[in-house]
Structures are given as structure tokens and as C-alpha cells.
Structure 1
Amino acid sequence: MNVPVEPEPLVRLAGAGYAYEDGPAVLSGVDFPIAPGRALALLGRNGSGKTTLMRLLSGGLRPDAGELHLDGAVVSYHRAGLTRLRKAVQLVVQDPDDQLFAASVEQDVSFGPMNLGLAAPEVRARVDAALAALDITALRDRPTHLLSYGQRKRAAIAGAVAMAPRVLILDEPTAGLDPDGQERLLEALAGLRAAGTTVVMATHDVDLAVRWADDAAVLTPAGIRLGPARTLLADPELLASAGLRAAWSPAVTALLRAHGLLSPQTPGPTTPEALAAWR
């Protein structure tokens, strides 16, 4: 019998730790892989280390201990090593106003590819593709300060997408968006995943994580738990230790199975709308 071989992680922290100046360790002894082709939700209470973890994975911070690996090789924090990492991994911060700075959407999205030294036709092609992927082509010439909050979110993500990363890390991308804005963003992320981008999303929304993610990582005072999203996020004790509310979908699925209305092999509904349509 052939045993499936686990793919090599695209990015991996190995035994990593980090402490800010004059403070205790935020993370210690962290082993954290990002597998190719997966959607990974990152959850935990404020102050649990999510932002630090994302910055370590994207090269914004250098671990005090341990190593960061890209394609199995240790990342060098010299210019060439960081350039290689940032071509592969892009982080989009929570507040788009911390990321947008150019006069127009096109200028902002083109900034990263231009700084890679790409030829003008390649830059334009990347900008066109990124704007289309985030459904903001019509905003190409719009001044960034005239965008709505949801438009600014998508413009910030487009700037990262134009770098053609293999891993896209998003810090609370749906925060502050109305339901329609959230769904439009999730559709854009689905398109990016279909095109081969691995997406990591930090969120406090457990129901969103259950619905969207393949895998989940939960940061607790005892460490980081990583596993399949629907299994991991059905553990009420784990969620409580991370200061998170229990997910709606696993609770409803368990109730349906307890009453014999759903077989163990059949996935449960992931949204109230799916439950309403369920038979």
C-alpha cells in the first residue's frame, strides 16, 4: 500500500521564539508549517501573538531563536534572502490606511512590482491581474483617499497580490466590512486560491474560519494547536482557552447527529442559510 507523502511546507518556523525589547517572550519554541495549497485560519485572543507570528512568517521580524525556512532552506536576513522571501510571502495588515500611500490605486498596486525591477509591460500585466482578482479594475485611477473602507481593503490586498506571492497572509481582512463586503472579499480569495495562492487569514470569527479554512491554528497560553479546521474548532475547551466563542456549525452538526438527522459521514451545514435549505 502506498502511503501518501506529506508535501514539504512552503514556509516553516522551526523552534522559533520572539520577545519585544524589555518584554517577556511573546512566542517560544514555535514549530509552524504552512502547507501549499491550503487555506489556514489563525485564531486567538488579542495579545496572543498572532501579529508577531505573521510578521515572523513574512520576514517583518527576525526570530530571537530558531529559524524560518522557505522551501526547506533557512532564510537569510540579508538583502538577497529577504527579497527572495518577500517574493514568496506577502503580509497585508489589518488597517489598509497603514499600507496604502500612493495617490491612486494603480500607483499603489504597481509600487511593489516596480521595486522588483520588472519591465514596464510585466508591471502593467501584474497590476491588471491584481485589480481584476480583487474586482477593483474600475477603481484603477481613483485616488486612494476617496475609496470606501471595503475598497481600501481590497486595494491593499491587490498590492500584495501584484507581487505574485505563493503565500498571502491577511490580518483580519473581513474586520469592519458589511456582510456583502465580506462575501465579495471571500469570493476574491477563492479566486486567488484557485490560481494557486496559499492563503493564511487571522480572524476572531470562528464561524468564518470553519466555513472558509482547510486548517486552523489556535493560539492559547499553552501554545499553538494546529489541525483540520472543522475538527479543531469543534473543541469547546480549546476555544475557551483562546478566548473564542464556540463555532455555530460544529454545534448544529453535533445536534443533528445526536437526533439521528445527519449521518457521521455527511458534512453538516456551515451557515444558517445552508441549514434552512438542508433536508
Structure 2
Amino acid sequence: MKRVDFSLVNGNEITTLRPDFIQQFKNLSSSSGKYSRDFMYLGPLYHLGFINLDRIILIDASDLEFRIDIAELDAFFSKFEPEQVIGIGNDLSPFYRQIMNGYLKENPESPLGKPGKFQGFNSGVVMFNLTRIRESALYDSFIEPENLKSLWDLYGYKPMLGDQDWFTFLGFKHPELFYFLDCHYNTQISLEFMNERFLEYFDDYHFCDWIINVKVIHYNGCFDEPWNCNFGSPEENLDRHKSKERRIHLSNIFF
């Protein structure tokens, strides 16, 4: 068994490095519960807190299953283009499409929030090239409180999901800063959005690959059974989603 070393970090020490950023972020947020805690806003500041590290991989602590050696993830750092400072994968749901309805009505040709490269990020697995971040004046400019506000104002959005929203909307504005991590390395299984409202295009956001090919499984949201997502009983759910294709999708892609 390989040796694993642990170091504990006091998140409050990172908060004190840019309290103006943290406070502005929280002031602009519509979050409550866990997303109202300072910890949920620290991601953009890691390059300031971990000054002796060149890179880190941030992973959710309790809902990921790794089917690979994490060294396979680490190897992706070598594939970053010169301007790319963070590696992160898509949020496999139409969440950002839902909250950007107003923006998309005014900008119907915009790809933002739609399936593909701009459907939004999920921060369950994030790769930070800390050295490059420290050298990026563009990245650093969006830690300034006034630019943080302008980022949300541009898209008419009040942040709800902490630093995941910051990564997503900075990616909308400056995609050149991000390496797009393949969905196999953060395959979220939640079916929260597989309802009548989003049924027509849910798979366009959600489907990654057959479960046997997935590298990192993310047990997020209400997991992989529709009846756990307030869709009624299994029988009621199958009445709603009658197509053979969708039943195969449920029985083979998920557990």
C-alpha cells in the first residue's frame, strides 16, 4: 500500500489573505446553509494560501469514488496550454441553463449554459496550477471586489454555489484560462434535473459514458435513482419516461 501523508490547513488563514474578496462574494450571493460559509469561497485564493506548492488537485471529501490512481489525473497538468491555469470538468446537468434563462432570452444565440463546452463547471474535481495562477494578471484581476461584481452583473446572476459559480462564470468570460477535464474524471450521477421541464435535453448535459468506462464517480445531489429525486415511485417514474432507450439508459449507465 502506498504511503499517504496528511496536512491539516486552517481555512481561516486563507480567508484573511483577501477578506475583501470573501466578503464581497458573500454579499453578492443568494446562498444559505453550507454555501454561506467562508470555506465555500476559498477556491480562487489557493494560490495565495499554498505559496510553497506548484500545483494541487482539489477533490470533494465524501462523495467521490476513484477507479484509477490519482496520478492519472496529475498527468493532465502536462497537457495544459500555456494560458490554462485550472483544469475542471462540466457540471453534468442543466443547472446553469436554468438559472441563465433571462440572459438567454436576451441573447438567444449565446452558447452559455447550453450543452457542450459552456454548460457550466462542477467543482468536485479541480486541478490548480498554482504557479501559473500566481503569474496570471487576468486571473488575479477577478479577485478584485469590483470585478467580481461586474462578472455577476454581466450575466444577471446571483451566485448560489460558492466558488463553483466563480469558476463557471470566469470560464464563460475567459475560457482560455481553463483546461476542460474529460467527464470520465468527474462523472456526476445525480438525476435531480431529469424531470418534465428538462427531459427533452437532459441527456445532452448528463450522459458521459457507460459506467464501466468511468474513472471517477461523483455521488452528488439525489444520486442515480429518479425516485430519490422526488419523482415518485419507480413505477410512476417509468410511466413518465416510457421510451425503451431511456430505460436502458437508467439500468446500464447508473447503478
TM-score band, normalised by shorter chain: under 0.3
Larger radius of gyration: 1
Normalising by structure 1, we get a TM-score of 0.26
Larger relative strand fraction: 1
Normalising by structure 2, we get a TM-score of 0.28
